[in-house]
Chains A and B, each alone.
Chain A
Amino acid sequence: AAIFGNVQQQTLEVVYDGAGGRVGFAPNGCS
């Protein structure tokens, strides 16, 4: 499988919604 690693996740807020069955990304969500 392709693997989306943690270097690429920097400056993104990454949201895991296990109950909702979805993953979210918020660019610049960390500032």
Chain B
Amino acid sequence: VQGRREIDSHIIQLSSLFPSPSSSCVLSTKASNTKSSLHVTHRHGTCSRLTNGKATTPDHVEILRLDQARVNSIHSKLSKKVNDRVRQSQSTNVPAKSGSTLGSGNYIVTVGIGTPKHDLSLIFDTGSDLTWTQCEPCVQTCYSQKEPIFNPSSSSSYYNVSCSSAPCSSLSSATGNAGSCSASNCVYGIQYGDQSFSVGYLAKEKFTLTSSDVFNGVYFGCGENNQGLFTGIAGLLGLGRDKLSFPSQTAKTYNKIFSYCLPSSSRYTGHLTFGSAAISSSVKFTPISTITDGTSFYGLDIVGITVGGRKLAISSTVFSTPGALIDSGTVITRLPPKAYAALRSAFKAQMSKYPSTSAVSILDTCFNLSGYKTVTIPKVAFSFSGGAVVELGSKGILYPFKMSQVCLAFAGNSDDNN
């Protein structure tokens, strides 16, 4: 029995959940040594260019609030609810069909834009398609960002796109809003559910990922009117499935393949690697399922969850009715209500020796681990269609606020169809 228990649980040093903010940055070897690979940094971590090497303590409640805003906007997009507020702005009306809210943007990469190259920190986002950054002269407004704002007039490889061009007409599937015209130049608009938006010119520019990965003529949004909850970050690298996404635009080189490892603590960098170089041999695949009204998303078919080695009694229709998608921009996994209830009760039953404590925001299963050096938690694994069974690392199961409040890092959706 003891042996069984060991196989089915993680023993975690509690100190590892709270790395000291001063610890120096540890670079991902894969990002450093692999072709077409970028370092991924945690927005608040010691590795981020934006924190000058000092970790900033993120406001977890704010992170979870923005995360919920993102999830709400993804759900509203999928349920075809279109919020009919129109965003008035001088250069164009943006009919407000929300894209997916920026959310809390934890993970960023640095990409060079223009000639000469201008490095910018962008959120990488598999849940949206259009790459955009703020642009001088910020005709309307730009939120504050750490790096100098990109100035297209100082780049010799920048071109506006005409509004009669094919990319302009493909804006509606990439952003939810059709392109419009301003002096025959194509104008894009993307509104995020939480009152933030970016409006500007659809343009073509040189993108430099690494010294040997340079792409001329990448379509992106040059934002002249941006209101974001996203201070500090220059914009977004869209990795969705639409034809305007970065993987689609570089398909000839990378065949729409990319992989990433997110840093599991803010003192490490992860990697975002384009192409099939150095993909781990232990990878297990599951087919992408297409979500109606969400063709840009990477849909997944979850078929089961095990906790501590035991498969939860969840009928497969609980997952198949609403479907599922994977999103690098959503922080906390959202499960259908019945699946979450089963996960929560199985997890709590196996954590009964630890005192429960109050919920935080969307996380309702929390424990007071003060006074403990280690915690033993049951392993959690997801089964996907096609036979892939994925065991989550210990970092993927808990969300630590403080020693006296460490929570199960899952939340339930409000509605079976979500």
Query: A: which residues have CB within 8 A of B?
Result: 1-30
- Contact residues in A for B331 (Cβ distance below 8 Å): 5-7
Do the beta carbons of B390 and A5 come within 8 Å of each other?
Answer: no
**What is the 8 Å Cβ interface bit string for chain B, positions 225-252, against chain A (1 contact, 0 not)?**
0000000000000010100000110010
Q: When each residue 150-182 of chain B gets 1 if its CB lies under 8 Å from chain A and 0 otherwise, what string results?
A: 000000000000000000000000000000000
Which of the listed residues A3, A4, A20, A29 has the most CB atoms from chain B within 10 Å of its own CB?
Answer: A3
Say yes or no: A2-B282 contact (C-beta < 8 A), given A11-B395, A23-B326, A29-B261. Answer: no
Ranked 9 nearest A-B pairs via Cβ: A18-B256, A11-B393, A29-B280, A30-B261, A26-B280, A2-B324, A24-B283, A5-B330, A26-B283
Q: Name B277-299 residues within 8 Å CB distance of A.
A: 279-288, 291, 294, 297-299
In the bound complex, do residue B396 and residue A12 qualify as a contact, i.e. CB atoms below 8 Å apart?
yes
Contact of A27 (CB < 8 Å), options: B241, B257, B390, B410: B390
**When A2-B413, A7-B331, A27-B390 are in contact, do A14 and B326 touch as well, CB less than 8 Å?**
yes
Instruction: Give residues of chain B (381-407) contacting chain A, Cβ–Cβ below 8 Å.
Output: 382, 386, 388, 390-397, 399
**Complex: how many Å from CA A19 to CA B237?**
19
B residues in contact with A6, CB < 8 Å: 106-107, 262, 327-331
* A4 and B332 contacting across the interface, CB-CB below 8 Å: no
Are A1 and B74 in contact, with the CB atoms below 8 A?
yes
Q: What are 26 A-B interface contacts by the 8 Å CB criterion?
A: A1-B74, A1-B78, A1-B297, A2-B322, A2-B335, A3-B71, A4-B300, A4-B302, A4-B330, A5-B332, A6-B327, A7-B332, A7-B399, A7-B409, A9-B326, A10-B396, A11-B394, A12-B390, A12-B396, A15-B285, A17-B257, A18-B255, A23-B286, A23-B300, A29-B283, A30-B270
On chain A, the residues within 8 Å of B386 by CB distance are 22
**Complex contacts, A14 vs chain B, CB 8 Å:** 259-261, 326, 328
Contacts A15-B279, A24-B286, A29-B283; A1 near B395 (Cβ below 8 A): no
Contact across chains for B126 and A16 when beta carbons are under 8 A apart: yes
Is B264 interfacial (CB 8 A cutoff)?
yes
B287 CB, min distance to chain A CBs, angstroms = 5
Per the bound structure, the CA–CA distance linking A29 and B271 in Å amounts to 11
> Which residue on chain A has the smallest CB distance to residue B410?
A8
Q: Which residues of A contact B270 (CB under 8 A)?
A: 30
Q: In the complex, what residues of A have CB within 8 A of residue B391's CB?
A: 27
In the bound complex, residues from chain B placing their C-beta under 8 Å from that of A16 are 126, 239, 247, 256-259, 298
| B260 nearest in chain A by CB position | A14
- How far apart are the CA atoms of A9 and B264 in the complex, in Å? 9
Indicate the member of A2, A14, A28 with the most B CB atoms within 10 Å. Answer: A2
Q: Are B257 and A19 in touch, CB under 8 angstroms? A: yes
Residues on the A chain within 8 Å of B291, using CB:
1
Looking at the assembled complex, report how far the CB atom of B199 sits from the nearest CB atom of chain A, in whole angstroms: 27
Report A-chain residues with C-beta under 8 Å of the C-beta of B282.
26-29
CA distance A21 to B385 in the complex (A): 13
CB contacts (< 8 Å) of B333 on chain A: these are 2-5, 7-8
CB-based contact A4/B261 at 8 Å? no
How far does the alpha carbon of A28 sit from the alpha carbon of B281 in the complex, in Å? Answer: 11
- For A4, give the chain B residue with the smallest CB separation: B326
Q: Is B108 an interface residue (CB 8 A)?
A: no
Q: A10-B262, A13-B279 are in contact. Are A3 and B324 (CB under 8 A)?
A: yes
Residues of chain A within 8 A (CB-CB) of B257 are 15-20
Complex: how many Å from CA A14 to CA B286?
Answer: 11
Q: Mark B366-387, 1 if CB is under 8 A from A, else 0.
A: 0000000000000000100010
